[in-house]
Structure formats: structure tokens, C-alpha cells
Structure 1
């Protein structure tokens, strides 16, 4: 079930949402450091992070699920957001170079169908980044944040669903090690929590951040060749001519 857009906007306007936006934005930008002349799409509720690319990308747009609702983005100028069915995006094939999925995979009815649609609209060699809640993290266990709603994932589950949708993971990262508690003590030390958690590879990060590339060819299973036994059939051939004075000639059976 999709979250309400009002709740999402309220979260990101608060202190805990501002911390999440800063930490996740840093990790996303580290992977896509240059999107000049590229088309970038945000899926779900990705507008807090699309600001990273709005002045650089050729175009940046956002599609939000109808059950969630939509907000105008960017705040100034013409709106670049739209409502849509995330399994049937209102975009042509191979039209986007980068796709950022936030607050969508965990709340959708079918993660595989959503990713298959992302595969369709990505250009050959296009890149996808998914931000998904970690099932072992604290953020997935507290419904006071958007990451506590829907289905959290393990790394193995995400790998499986990506490969089924013909994506190949190329980079893994985790973020949001700070507890999701809106107290000044935790908020001020969020960067320190992030540094320690990343350095020690601690298992309780709030979210997975996965970058994957579009696989161009569908794998085909190779079956071993089977030998077909030769079928023997009886064939009538003329018999040898009998010696002078013997019985007349006839036919005999032979196997061909």
C-alpha cells in the first residue's frame, strides 16, 4: 500500500527527514556525480533527491503512484511531476538514462513488475538506483518514518528480484545508521553514526542503496544435444537370380 503524499512531505520537512535527505542524497550523488545531458526519472517519492540533478540533467521528471498522490516539483517554474501507474509508465521505451526509485519498491504490489517497467523505459546501458528499507535495520521497524511501511528487503531478496527483471547489480551501499529518533543528540551525531557504520560494515543500516545496470540480452538456457537412434525399417529388395534349373526368383526382406 502506498503512503500518502502529505505524510511523505511532512516527514521530509521535519528534522529527521532533513537528516535522511542529506545522508541519502550524499550516497546517491556519489554514484551519479555527473548527469550532464542525461534524462533522469524519479519514481515513487523521489523529489527530495531530484533536486541534486535539476540544474544539471537535460531533463528531470518524477512519476508518483496514483494511490499516493502527487505534489508539484520543482517549487519554482513549471511542474515536472505526474501521477501514473508504476507498472505502466506514461513514457516511451528507452527514454530515460537514469532512474531513481525511492518509497516505491517496498509499497508496490509487485516489485518484479515495477522493475520490469523500469527496464523498459531505460536506455541501453542505463542505470537504476533503488533505495529500499533494510529488514534488519531499525528504520524498518518503526512506522514513524516512511521506511517503516511496506515490505523491507534483505540483500539476497533484492539481488533476486533485480536479476529476475534483467538487471545486474554493480554497487551496494547502506545508509541511515543513526536511530530514527528525532532527538537533537542523535540528529547532531548522524554523520558520526554514518561514518562508523560504513567503516565497520554494521548490519543494522536503515536502507539499502543499490545501483544496477540494464541487461540487454535475456539469458537462454543451453540444453545438451540429444542423439536420435536410427529407426530400422524393412525394405523389400530383389533376391539373387537362382542358378539354372532352380526355382524362380522372388523377393527377400532387408533392413535399411
Structure 2
């Protein structure tokens, strides 16, 4: 079940929300230093993380799920937000260079379908950043932030989901090592918590920030349904040659350009 868009907007206006926007945004910016001239899609409630790219990107679109609701975004400019069904995006194929998905997969009833739609609207080689609660972190166990309401993921689970949906994972980051608290002392020392957490307990960040790239080739499922294999089939088979056999070479009786002498009676 999605959170209401009004609650999400209110949270990111609070001191804790502004801090999270900064800490998570730092990890995103480290992965994507620039998006100059590119088209960006935000899916879920991604406006706070799209904002740093507004002045350099060719286009930023915040696609907000119908179950969540939609608000005008950004507040100070012409609206760039649209209400969507996350599993049936109202965009043509291959129109976005990059996408950020946050507060979406953890609430979606069919996260694989959501990712397949993201795959469809990305250009070949397009990049995606997925932000989800970390199952091993404290933030998924607390209702202090929106990351405590959806479905948390382990790093292996989100990587497996991305692979199934034809994305290749190229970077894995964690963020939010500070305790999930609104305490002013915790908020003032947030940068120290982040530095210590990344050095001492890197696997226990509150959220996972995963970057992946759109893969073009498709897998073929095996008969047992347990694995996906890339099966190569010949695009041309010479006449008379059974698939799986090597074509006959010149001079062979099976070569199509060599005539066999008729048998004497």
C-alpha cells in the first residue's frame, strides 16, 4: 500500500526529511555527477532527488503512482509531475536516458512489472538508480520515515530482481547510518554518523542505492524453469545441413556445390 503524496511531501519539508534528501542525494550525485542534456524520469516520489539535476537536464519528469496521488512539482516552476499507473507508464519506448525509482518498488504489488516498464521507457544502455529500504538496517524497522512503511530488500534480493528484469547492476551503495530519530543531537551529528557507518559497519545502512544499466539481450528460460540461459541459434543453415552439425567443406560429397557421380549399374 502506497503512502499518501501529502504525507511524503510533508516529510521531506521537515528537518529530518531535508537531511535525508541531502544524505541520499550525495550518494546519487556520486554515481551521476552530471546529467547535462539528458532526459530524466523519477518514479514514485522522486522529486527531492531529481531537483539537483533540473538546471542541467534536458527534461525532468516526476511520475507519481495513482495509488499515491500527485502534487505539482517543482513548486516554483511549470509542472513536471504526472499521475501514472506504474505498471503501464504513459510514455513511448526508449524516451528517457536515466531514471530514479524511490518510494515505489517497496510499495508496489508487482515490483517486477514496475521495473519492466522502466526498462521499456529507457534508451538502450540507459541507467537506473533504485532506492529501497535495507532489510538489515534500522530504518526499515522504524516508522520515523517513509522507508519504514514499505517492503524492505536485502542486497541480494534487489540485485536478483533487477537481473530478472534485464538490468545489469553496476554499482551498489548504502546510506543512512545515523539512527532513525528526530533528535536534534542526532541530526546535528548526521555527517559523523555517516562517515563512521561507512567505515565500520557498511552493510547496515538504512537504505540501498543500486545503479543498474538496461540490458538489451533476452534470456531463454530452461525447461526446469530454474535458470535463465542465453541460447544462440544460427541465423543461416546451409541447405541439407542439420542444425548442430558443421557445414561440409569444399570437396566434400555433402557440399552443395559438389556433384556426386551417378552410380554405375
* TM tier relative to shorter chain: 0.7 to 0.9
Structure 1 CA distance, aligned partners of 2:84 and 2:131? 20
Q: Which residue of 2 aligns with 1:138?
A: 138
- Superposed CA deviations along residues 137-177 of structure 1, whole A, max 9, x for unmatched, are 11100122100011100011001100110000000000000
Structure 1 CA distance, aligned partners of 2:72 and 2:13? 15
Structure 1 CA distance, aligned partners of 2:92 and 2:200? 43
TM-score, length-scaled by structure 2: 0.83
- Superposed CA deviations along residues 168-222 of structure 1, whole A, max 9, x for unmatched, are 0000000000011001111011111111111234332110000000001113434
Q: Which residue of 2 aligns with 1:128?
A: 128
Structure 2 CA distance, aligned partners of 1:150 and 1:33? 29
Q: Which residue of 1 aligns with 2:55?
A: 55
Structure 1 CA distance, aligned partners of 2:32 and 2:111? 23
RMSD of Structure 2 on Structure 1 (CA): 1.6
Preserved CA contact (<8 Å) 1:16 1:180 = no
Structure 2 CA distance, aligned partners of 1:98 and 1:177? 27
Q: Say which one has the larger Rg.
A: 1
1:36 aligned to 2:36? Answer: yes
Q: Which residue of 2 aligns with 1:208?
A: 208
- Superposed CA deviations along residues 219-246 of structure 1, whole A, max 9, x for unmatched, are 34349x889xxxxxxxxxxxxxxxxxxx
Structure 1 CA distance, aligned partners of 2:107 and 2:77? 30
- Superposed CA deviations along residues 107-165 of structure 1, whole A, max 9, x for unmatched, are 00111111001000000010000010001111100122100011100011001100110
TM-score, length-scaled by structure 1: 0.85
User: Structure 2 unaligned runs (5+)?
Assistant: 221-228, 233-242, 246-265
Written as runs of structure 1 = structure 2, the 5 A alignment for 1:67-86 is 67-86=67-86
Task: After superposing the two structures, state which structure 1 stretch, 106-115 or 72-81, moved more.
Answer: 72-81
Structure 2 CA distance, aligned partners of 1:201 and 1:142? 19
